[in-house]
Structure 1
């Protein structure tokens, strides 16, 4: 962990990474066991309901050095040992953005954006 991340990423989140492959309906085959990662986070908007239905919008932005998150994974701010991310109340990862480790050049940083 870089020196900057050492003081910055002080919260714990749980991530469930989707397993490789899909079933005959295109759904994930399931999720790996939950992993705890060190993060910092910011809450955002959640769901807007309008005359044409519900719109998915950003719920949380999570910053971390964890490099394995992908869209379709599930993330929960806090610690969970629940096997099912939906039961745990986790949010789906919609996008992962990579940022350079500007100061230490040890490990890149990532913004994990979740939506509902």
Structure 2
């Protein structure tokens, strides 16, 4: 962890990564054991109802140096040892963005964005 991240990413979150592959119905084969990561986060907007139905909008954005998360994984504010992310109350990661470590050029930063 970069020295800048060590003072800015002080909160903890739990990530469940999707196992590779899908079953005969196209659903994930399950999730790996939960991993605790260091991060910071902000709350986002909420669902928006329009004439065409419910629009998915940002719920939470997590800032971290954790590079292994992908769309379809789940994340939860705080620590959880629950094997099932849905039971734990986790949110699905809908988008992942990456940017460079501007100050120390050691480890890239990531934004993990959840939706409703």
TM range (shorter): over 0.9
Provide the C-alpha distance between the structure 2 equivalents of 1:105 and 1:46, rounded to a whole number of angstroms.
35
Structure 2 gaps of 5+ residues are none
| Displacement of 1:50 | 3.0
Q: Deviations over 1:64-99 (max 9, x none)?
A: 000000000000011111111011110000111011
| Displacement of 1:48 | 1.7
> What is the 5 A alignment of 1:16-31?
16-31=16-31
Provide the C-alpha distance between the structure 2 equivalents of 1:22 and 1:114, rounded to a whole number of angstroms.
21
Q: TM-score, normalised by structure 1?
A: 0.96
Q: State the partner residue of 2:54.
A: 54
Matched, 1:90 2:93: no
Provide the C-alpha distance between the structure 1 equivalents of 2:95 and 2:53, rounded to a whole number of angstroms.
22
Q: TM-score, normalised by structure 2?
A: 0.96
Provide the C-alpha distance between the structure 2 equivalents of 1:101 and 1:52, rounded to a whole number of angstroms.
40
Provide the C-alpha distance between the structure 2 equivalents of 1:12 and 1:70, rounded to a whole number of angstroms.
18
Which 4+ runs in 1 deviate beyond 4 A?
none
RMSD: 0.9
Structure 1 gaps of 5+ residues are none
| Displacement of 1:52 | 2.7
Aligned residues: 116
| Bigger shift: residues 45-54 or 73-82 | 45-54
| Displacement of 1:27 | 1.0
